[in-house]
Amino acid sequence: MEKIIYFIILLFTLVSCKDEISLDSINNSDKIVVYCFPTESDTTYMQIARSVPIKSYSNIIDKTAIDNAEINYTVNGKTSRIESIGKGFYKITGLQKKGDDIAFYVKTDGLPPVSAITTIPESVNICKPTEKGITLYDQDSESTQKFDQVTATFTDNSNTHDYYAVRVMVKNYTGYVKVSNKNEIYYLPNLATYKQYDHTDQSDTVSLVYNDSVYSVAEINTSSEELLSPTSEMDDGFGFSNNFYQNMYIFDDSSINGKTYTLHLNIPSNASYGVSTSTGYKYYDFDKAYQVQLMHLTPQYYHFLKSLNEIRNNDMAQYGLSQISPTVSNVSSGLGLFGAWITTQTTWVKK
């Protein structure tokens, strides 16, 4: 924060300018907004709304959902069944698989009709992950931190320009350690306690007992992975961070086209996971496992996520010192995004 304030002061010291922006130059007509992200499934959801012109923003912001749209949604030319489920959401039923060509045409009273097309990409195989503990130096805290580095390998298609997103799923467990020997059976909260405070004996039988588990999407430290473009010190100084929308870490194959590549994904090893219950917080800190999900995205979906990341990470623009780029749209005559994807997921690897 101190860095961004410093550069703001510097800019105001060096530059004196005046920008006049006329709101009359902005298109004030309503448009249909559609968001839909088909993949391999028999159920897809679509959200349809009305855009809000600036002049009407304060009056109709809560009345944008469209529940009476006429929708024609086709998979390889075959019409799918559509059901309105309220608040602008529609449920589409019909089997979809990789390679399918999908299209929609949407119209409603008083607005220009919209359309879009997309194709579900081919899946990309990814190998069983590995996990090991590492230590990295953090410049912000000026200290070292421990991470679980999860690695997984895949091969890119040399014949196409491909776009990806990677996520790491975490399964956190509750449980206990059961120790049995010729004299007794006793229980410990974790394996570290057994190793640290108990005198191990060759006759001991030690087993990990898992009671319950919860799932979450990990936040990845990208410093060990060049494909995820960690920011430089100069970027950081000018207020450009490196956060990814919904922890979907996107990249393309510009630097790895046709190669076999291993992703190095760092997860904070001390990350705790708790769930609020009627009796307080229940913590799932007994053990954890990791799964890598590799998503093959259409170009439109990738560039849409990239534009969201750029908006989120541009602190300069949020202070009014640079432009905020608009989000990408491939909906003809309207707004929104029709982007397909497909996921390959690895088996789980225990920490």
In a domain, 180, yes or no: no
Listed range (44-48, 58-62, 194-198, 341-345) with the worst mean pLDDT: 58-62
User: Are 165 and 40 in the same domain?
Assistant: no
User: In this structure, are 141 and 31 located in the same domain?
Assistant: no
Q: How many helices (H) and strands (E) does the chain have?
A: 6, 21
Say if 184 falls within a structural domain: no
Residues 104 and 235 grouped into a single domain = no
Phi, psi of 158 (to 5 degrees): -75, -15
Residues 150, 270, single domain; the answer is yes
Judgement on whether residues 148 and 104 belong to the same structural domain of the protein:
no
Last residue in a domain, options 87, 119, 151: 119
pLDDT of residue 88 exceeding 80: yes
| Amino acid present at 253 | D
Coil/strand/helix, residue 330: coil
SS3 10: helix
In a domain, 321, yes or no: yes
Evaluate whether 256 touches 156 at the Cβ level (below 8 Å): yes
pLDDT in tens, 96-119: 999 999 999 999 999 999 999 999
Question: 283-332, pLDDT tens digit by residue?
Answer: 999 999 999 999 999 999 999 999 888 887 654 444 444 444 567 899 99
Residues 82 and 226 in one domain: no
Structure tokens at 228: 């995820």
Summarize the confidence of residues 59-85 as an average pLDDT. 89
Domain end, chosen from 119, 153, 181, is at 119
Tell whether 60 and 155 lie within a shared domain.
Answer: no
Q: Is the pLDDT of residue 154 over 60?
A: yes
Quick one: 62 and 136 in the same domain?
A: no
- The angle subtended at Cα 107 by Cα 104 and Cα 112, nearest 5°, is 110
In this prediction, residues 116-132 reach a mean pLDDT of 97
Among 119, 140, 165, residue at a domain's last position: 119
102 in any annotated domain: yes
What is the structure's pLDDT at 271?
83
- Specify whether 152 is located in the same domain as 301: yes
d(CA 149, CA 205): 30
Give the containing element (helix H, strand E) for 180: strand 163-180
Tell me whether residue 336 is in a domain: no
The mean pLDDT value for 135-152 works out to: 89
pLDDT band at residue 246 under the 50/70/90 scheme: confident
CA distance 237 to 254: 27
Answer yes or no: do 33 and 79 share one domain: yes
Per-residue b/e over 31-43, b at no fewer than 16 CB within 10 Å?
A: bbbbbbbbbbeee
Cβ–Cβ < 8 Å for 120, 342: yes
Q: Are residues 149 and 260 in the same domain?
A: yes
pLDDT at 87 over 70: yes
> Comparing 51-60, 90-99, 270-279, which segment has the lowest mean pLDDT?
51-60
H or E element that contains 309: helix 299-313
* Residue 235, pLDDT score: 45
CA 160 to chain centre: 23
Same domain, 55 and 161: no
Kindly report the CATH number assigned to the domain that includes residue 91.
2.60.40
**Residue 37 near residue 341 (C-beta atoms within 8 A):** yes
Q: Share the mean pLDDT of the chain.
A: 85
Specify the number of domains making up the chain. 2
Q: Which residue segment(s) compose the domain that 245 sits in?
A: 130-173+214-277+285-326+341-350
